[in-house]
């Protein structure tokens, strides 16, 4: 079992079907941006391009201030485009405080909690563990070359 | 965030040093703990962690991972004919 960093195949299709709205210029019933969350997964989990939706399978166990489902991302950045690349990055870092991880973790799943928890992308990083402490996932610069989610 | 949790400062690239630290044994004076800070850079991220040990026992670990870049979805080439 291993996690693999990828933009989820289901998300690619869901983009075409209008299931996701990072910004407010949507042509749907609702005109508000969807709520996106980030959840942490154990290194032994199997989060990858075939992940279609968030589930608790393989997620860190709830402990201290880590709760199932992870954290809601701050969405103060409207999607933008530069040099033929559209991009979006949360406007604040993701942070979990005062918790002890139930094991080593190396993956964060970005998902849309407004749209039935549909998966967007899986981000892997060096394996981490936390003891009575804080984990901060600092976001990359929000532009066309480093943004968290880019479509070229 | 609790004043007893070390905070990573992006500008100075250092962890704060609270006098009392939140540990697996509750609040503990930092003076009685061994403090170790590590930094690691990979192709895709910058990592930093601070650990506090009571003897051989790890009683606190905080970490910060800074992603250098996110993920990019490339459009496929289209051929006609």
Q: What ipTM is given for this predicted complex?
A: 0.92
Cβ–Cβ below 8 Å for B44 and A131: no
Query: Domain total for chain A?
Result: 1
Residue of A nearest to B73 (CA): A151
Structure confidence by residue, pLDDT tens digits, A108-132: 999 999 988 999 999 999 999 999 9
Q: For residue A99, what are its two tokens?
A: 């918790």
Structure confidence by residue, pLDDT tens digits, B28-66: 999 999 999 999 999 999 999 999 999 999 999 999 999
Structure confidence by residue, pLDDT tens digits, A95-110: 999 999 999 999 999 9
Contact by Cβ (8 Å): A147, B40 = no
User: For residue A11, what are the domain limits?
Assistant: 6-151
Decide if A1 is inside a domain. no
Best of B22, B67, B77 to disrupt the A interface (most A CBs within 10 Å) is B67
Rounded CA separation A5/A2 (Å): 10
Residues of B in Cβ contact (< 8 Å) with A100: 24
- Does any CB of chain A come closer than 8 Å to the CB of residue B16? no
Q: What percent of chain B has pLDDT over 90?
A: 85
The Cα angle at residue B47 between residues B44 and B49, in degrees rounded to 5: 165
Question: What pLDDT, on a 0 to 100 scale, did the predictor assign at position A124?
Answer: 97
pLDDT beyond 50 at B81: no
């Amino acid at each position: 079992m291993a996690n693999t960093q990828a933009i989820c195949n289901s998300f690619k299709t869901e983009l075409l079907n209008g299931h996701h709205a990072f910004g407010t210029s949507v042509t749907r019933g609702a005109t508000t941006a969807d709520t996106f969350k980030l959840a942490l997964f154990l290194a032994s989990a199997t989060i990858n391009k075939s992940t279609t939706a968030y589930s608790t399978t393989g997620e860190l166990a709830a402990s201290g201030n880590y709760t199932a489902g992870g954290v809601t991302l701050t969405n103060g950045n409207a999607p933008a485009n530069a040099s033929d690349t559209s991009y979006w990055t949360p406007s604040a870092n993701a942070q979990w405080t005062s918790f002890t991880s139930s094991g080593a973790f190396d993956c964060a799943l970005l998902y849309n909690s407004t749209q039935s928890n549909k998966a967007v992308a899986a981000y892997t990083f060096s394996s981490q563990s936390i003891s009575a402490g804080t984990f901060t996932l600092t976001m990359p610069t929000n532009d066309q070359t480093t943004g968290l989610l880019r479509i070229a | 965030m609790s004043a007893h949790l070390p905070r990573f400062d992006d500008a100075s690239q250092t962890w704060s040093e609270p006098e009392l630290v939140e540990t697996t044994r509750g609040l503990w004076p930092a003076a009685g703990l061994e403090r170790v800070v590590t930094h690691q850079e990979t192709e895709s991220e910058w990592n930093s962690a601070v650990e506090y040990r009571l003897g051989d026992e790890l009683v606190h670990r905080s970490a910060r991972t800074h992603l250098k870049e996110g993920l990019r979805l490339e459009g496929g080439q289209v051929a006609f004919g």
